[in-house]
Chain A
Amino acid sequence: MSAVYSGWIPFKPKPSVIPGFGLTFGLTVTWLSLIVLIPLAALFARAASLGPDEFIAATASPRVLAALRLSFVTSIIAALVSTVLGGFIAWVLVRHPFPGRRFVDAIIDVPFALPTAVAGIALTTLYAETGWLGGLLAQIGIKAAFTPLGILIALVFIGLPFVVRTVQPVIEDLDHETEEAAACLGASRWQTLRRIVFPTIAPALVTGFTLAFARGVGEYGSVIFIAGNLPMVSEIAPLLIVIKLEEFAYAQATAIAVVMLCASFAFLLAINILQRRMAASRVSGR
């Protein structure tokens, strides 16, 4: 049982006295395979039934590229917006208690539970020019519903709770004392925030960003109602998958799905690794 860890054996654990690695790891991988990996393998297999040329034709046409670009760009922007707003909201909720805070805290999770189609309908009702907010925006010349801006609103709605819920516990655990020590040493509020608070909550912000992005890039139900769905302008990639399916073109639909999946998986993996690096350097730097 001595140190065999130096070899590049995947999934081989470091020796530990805690029991149950074999059982839990085995169960996890089995369940993961049944529910996630085998179904996704079917997706890849169907996409692979296309030849390389057909695969490229199915995924690299201008319209598909425009849709992929729209999906990825809007979900990255929306995730950034969610991260800023979500981090801010989490901070206020934890540090600045106000009457009714519990209730406000509660409704943050509404986008989780509201069916996406209902969210889409409700947002469209609000942000269309006939709606409460859309009418106001129209007066200052902004069209929200049925434009890419509408997509952004829907994605921020979907992504916001992920950021708040990841950052909130970290802020709750933040030590007042470190901040106070910084203040005693003459740091300004801004310096304390930037040098003490921000580095501590940064990993959580990154996680929140990742989750918001991951959720947003494939989002369908809430977006189609508000998007406008014009090809090359406001047509998202998941809608294109649906369109291919309606044409009974399964292989092409799965090809687009595979491209999306690989892109977002690479993104998730990169962020995960980055985060572990961040955590590791913070620990060793102490």
Chain B
Amino acid sequence: MTRLASFLIIGLLIFGCGTLSAAETNLLNVSYDPTRELYQDFNEAFTKHWQAKTGQEFSIRQSHGGSGKQARSVIDGIEADVVTLALAYDIDAISQRGLIAKDWQTRLPDNSAPYTSTIVFLVRKGNPKGIKDWDDLIKPDIKVETPNPKTSGGARWNYLAAWGYALRQPGGNETSARDFVAALYRNVPVLDSGARGSTITFVQRGIGDVLVSWENEAFLALNELGPDKLDIVAPSVSIVAEPSVAVVDSVVDRRGTRAVAEAYLQYLYSPEGQEIAAKHYYRPRLPEVKANYADRFPAIALFTVDEVFGGWAKAQITHFAEGGVFDSIYAGPQ
């Protein structure tokens, strides 16, 4: 048994070394689904910036997928120099395994979230069902598209936004919020595993009257899939979605890429980086860039996870963990 195992390892060692040799002059950014277009542009800009500054030749590789799945890849050993994920909880999960320092969220400004987004509605052109706010989503004749919060980071923001809205209604409390969210999920005919899958089900398959979505995804879908087919509706209240970024300490220290990895994330906060983020419909942090794009982003009363839910760790355990509120919504009789 041990001999077999050592045989296997030696064989694979020989095999593995070959694939690794060329990997020193690049950076791997492990990110979530909706940021593909953003980071394609941003990587190009940063590569130029870095080469002008240091003269170093290097390239940036990208990996995209569901936020939780990507976090798991990092935990399982993918050589990510930086992670740019959908929510702080996923980076916390990596940090718990000791790959990222515990204080990661304070190492960069704005909770390590260089840009933000929020949750809005995408409806059919002309808004035939007259959907204006969260209340309309629980009406019996409305079909709502949203992904599964168990597998999609974006879907968790959707869920928390709905919960926060219900809580802030007159007389709102935990029970009424739970009932509201349960009613909303009763209107969901398909639970896709990711935000992109949900968008495709809504737009291409014609399922549902309203898609609950990231603001940036809603704009992208509108532009890519049909300005003539879709409209965006901004609810009265929503959540500040803060996609977080962090340097993966254990990887950059092993590979000696800390300087460039840190510069990469810092550059997201620069006017150039903020401009690119805004161009891709992420809400920028920098006031002067914000001002340039003011007409692009509708004014919505926004609340944060910390204000309403006491932080991601708590929200995760209460709502999305095994046996949490989300499970209980589906565990009851249908």
**Do any CB atoms of chain A lie under 8 A from CB atoms of chain B in the complex?**
yes
A interface residues (Cβ-Cβ under 8 A, vs B): 30, 33-34, 38, 62-63, 124-125, 128-131, 145-146, 224-225, 228-233, 235, 239, 242-243, 245-249, 252
Known: A34-B8, A246-B69, A246-B150. A130 touches B190 (CB 8 A): no
With A146-B190, A248-B93 given, name 5 new contacts (CB 8 A). A228-B190, A245-B69, A245-B72, A246-B151, A252-B322
CB of B151 within 8 A of CB of A242, answer yes
Cross-chain contact A243 with B148 (CB below 8 angstroms)? yes
Decide yes or no whether B192 CB sits under 8 A from chain A: yes
- The 8 Å CB contact of A34, one of B4, B66, B151, B191, is B4
Interface stretch (choices B128-136, B201-209, B244-252, B275-283): B201-209
Residues in chain A near residue B193, CB distance under 8 A:
224, 229, 239, 242
Of the 9-residue stretches B101-109, B164-172, B326-334, which lies at the interface with chain A? Answer: B326-334
B5 and A146 contact, CB distance less than 8 A: no
Interface: B321 (CB within 8 A): yes
| Contact status of A246 and B68, CB under 8 A, knowing A229-B193, A230-B190 | yes
- Tell me the smallest distance from the CB of A87 to a CB of chain B, in Å: 33
CA distance in complex: A139, B193 (Å): 29
Give the interface size bracket for B toward A: 20 to 34
Most B C-beta atoms less than 10 A away, residue of A30, A224, A247: A247
Interface flag for B189 (CB, 8 Å): yes
Q: How far is the CB of A273 from chain B (nearest CB, A)?
A: 28
Query: Would A232 and B334 count as touching, CB distance under 8 A?
Result: yes
- Tell me which residues across on chain A come within 8 A of B197, comparing CB atoms: 225
Nearest neighbor of B75 in chain A, beta-carbon distance: A248
Q: Which of B5, B72, B148 has the most CB of A within 10 A?
A: B148
Partner-A contacts on B (CB < 8 A): 4-5, 7-8, 66, 68-69, 71-72, 75, 93, 148, 150-151, 188-193, 197, 201, 204-207, 320-322, 327, 330-331, 334
Per the bound structure, the CA–CA distance linking A3 and B327 in Å amounts to 61
Task: Tell me whether A233 and B4 are in contact (CB under 8 A).
Answer: no
Contacts of B8 in A (CB 8 A): 34, 38
C-alpha spacing A260/B19, complex, angstroms:
35
Best-surrounded residue of B8, B72, B191 (most CB of chain A within 10 A): B191
Decide: A229 and B205 in contact? CB cutoff 8 A: no
Cβ–Cβ contact A247 & B205, under 8 A: no
Which residues of chain A are within 8 angstroms of B189 by Cβ–Cβ distance?
Answer: 146, 228, 230
CA–CA, A25 and B179, complex, Å? 62
Contact of A129 among B66, B72, B205 (CB under 8 A): B205
Contact B4 A38 (CB under 8 A): yes
Nearest A residue (CB) for B333:
A232
Contact A246 B191 (CB under 8 A): no
Q: Can you list 28 residue pairs at the A/B interface with Cβ under 8 Å?
A: A33-B4, A38-B4, A62-B331, A128-B204, A128-B205, A128-B206, A130-B204, A130-B205, A146-B207, A224-B193, A225-B197, A229-B148, A229-B190, A229-B192, A229-B193, A230-B190, A230-B330, A235-B191, A242-B151, A243-B151, A245-B72, A246-B69, A246-B150, A247-B150, A247-B321, A248-B68, A248-B71, A249-B322
